[in-house]
């Protein structure tokens, strides 16, 4: 089962197995940019009460969530992927990707 917003972007993908829901949430910013993808392990923990949604301090987000950060021109400048080092991206004046670097997150 898939749920969409008015921009036809996926908000929720729900898979059901043995009457158990496995939800993947997609969170967008005000400009329609994908900011978070929360797979079932993350969405279960983050739908609990009083959870702080801070990518720098929330261990569930660090371990399971996909996070994307954008500049003022809506270019993706940072990707945080589960189990991977951060990926930083830079663009030229014409907004073409000219550089990407995987950070060393030790």
SS (H, E, C) 32-45: CCEEEEECHHHHHH
Determine the structural domain holding residue 95 and report its residue range: 2-102
Residue 49 has pLDDT above 70, yes or no: no
Q: Which carries the bigger pLDDT value, residue 52 or residue 59?
A: 59
Helices (H), the chain: 40-46, 59-64
Query: Which pLDDT tens digit goes with each residue over 67-106?
Result: 999 999 999 999 999 888 899 999 999 999 999 998 775 5
pTM: 0.82
How many domains would you assign to the chain?
Answer: 1
């Amino acid at each position: 089962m898939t749920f969409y917003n008015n921009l036809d972007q996926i908000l929720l993908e729900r898979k059901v197995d043995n009457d158990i829901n496995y939800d993947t949430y997609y969170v967008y910013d005000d400009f329609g940019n994908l900011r978070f993808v929360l797979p079932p392990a993350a969405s279960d923990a983050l739908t609990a009460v009083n959870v702080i949604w801070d990518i720098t301090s929330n261990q569930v987000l660090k371990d399971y969530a996909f996070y994307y950060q954008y500049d003022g021109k809506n270019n993706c400048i940072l990707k945080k992927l589960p189990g991977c080092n951060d990926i930083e991206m830079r663009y030229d004046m014409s907004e073409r990707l000219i550089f990407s670097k995987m950070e060393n997150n030790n």
